[in-house]
Amino acid sequence: MSASTGKVFFSTNPNKWLGRPASAQNVVPTSPCHLAFSPGQLRLLGGQINVAAAASGAGLAIALADSEWIAGSWTTATSTYADLTADAQSGTDDAFDPAVTTTTNNGFIVAAKRPFNVLGIDVTTADGGSSAIYDTAYWGYPTTGSQASAAGWQQITQANNFIHTTATFDTTGEKLIVANFPPAVMVETVAGDVTGLPGGYYAFRMRATTAATTTACQFARIYAGVEILRQSQLAQHATLNLAGGTGSSVRIPAITGGVMVGAFFATTNVGNNLYLEYE
């Protein structure tokens, strides 16, 4: 990197994104490879993301403040959202229960005040019995073709997302979802679009198209984020460069409600790291 007139930040990250900080509601999590900042107060001048694992995707994302998003259960029989935001932001083991045990197509919704596509989830009880299969969807227009006359749920097969896990919640630990759709296709909800969900939010849904048979997954924490940039299949020890004054550097001031910026990785490795120059 060239010499910088700003500040510098460097950290390794053994996690996929934030890890499992289990922060309490409205408390900014402490996480390696993440730089905390006041909303609108950070401008990236440049940087590098280094992937220590072989053939791994990586990128940079903003973590949103808890006040910027809500979460709750989705019941398919009634197409209803029930708010469980306090549980999703509690940091307490098994506090968030999306109630998908043996009911196909039940799940949960996370909705934010701006378009987003990153979810970090701390699973403290795994799905039990046969492996559950999940799909993802956003409220908005299709990603191809003309815009629909009305917004609706646009389904994305989990395997088509940029970063996903095949058996999504079959094990405990950190789970990272980086969805594969452009923010421009998300549509802000109005009251009545989704029963129980307030207007003024951009919604992201996960549901079990094949439900677990014995035990429901439960979470200690959900974190919502906004992707800034990505690179798929970086070779081992390859570097993703953040050129000064381009790309990510012009976007960060426009993201309201962000509390920290950091790297995410498709494959964990203690050698993964992030270097930033900023002001």
DSSP-assigned letters across all residues of 26-62: T-PPP-TTEEE--TT---EEEEEEE--SSSEEEEEEE
The pair of structure tokens assigned to 165 is 């896990």
Residue 217 Cα distances to 172, 208, 265, angstroms: 9, 11, 23
Going by their DSSP bridges, the two strands 218-234 and 34-36 should be labelled as unpaired
Nearest to 264 by CA among 225, 219, 236: 225
Q: What is the pLDDT of residues 221-275, one digit of tens each?
A: 999 999 888 887 777 777 777 754 334 443 454 566 788 889 999 889 999 999 8
- Of the candidate CATH numbers 2.60.40, 1.10.510, 2.60.120, 1.10.3470, the domain formed by 69-224 belongs to 2.60.120
105 pLDDT exceeds 50?
yes
Residue 196 Cα distances to 79, 115, 116, 120, 181, angstroms: 9, 20, 20, 24, 25
- Of the candidate CATH numbers 1.10.287, 2.60.120, 2.60.40, 3.30.70, the domain formed by 7-64+226-278 belongs to 2.60.120
- How far is residue 162 CA from its own chain's centroid? 11
Common-topology check for domains 7-64+226-278 and 69-224: yes
pLDDT-derived band at 84 (thresholds 50, 70, 90) equals: very high
For residues 178 and 256, the model is more confident at: 178
Query: In whole angstroms, what is the distance from residue 120 CA to residue 129 CA?
Result: 24
Query: Residue for token digits 């019941």?
Result: 75
The pair of structure tokens assigned to 241 is 């460069």
Residue 214 Cα distances to 100, 126, 127, angstroms: 10, 10, 8
Can you give the pLDDT at residue 250? 38
DSSP label at residue 184:
G
What percent of the chain clears pLDDT 90, i.e. is strictly above it? Answer: 44
Can you give the pLDDT at residue 16? 92
The domain limits of the chain are 7-64+226-278, 69-224
The pair of structure tokens assigned to 238 is 């390859």
Reduced DSSP (H G I as helix, E B as strand, rest coil) percent helix, strand, coil of the chain, to 5: 5, 40, 50
Long-range pairs of 77-81 with CB within 8 A, sequence gap ≥ 24: 77/103, 78/195, 79/194, 79/195, 80/194, 80/195, 80/196, 81/109, 81/194, 81/195, 81/196, 81/197
Q: What is the pLDDT of residues 179-208, one digit of tens each?
A: 888 778 899 999 999 999 999 999 999 998
Query: Residue for token digits 């570097």?
Result: 239
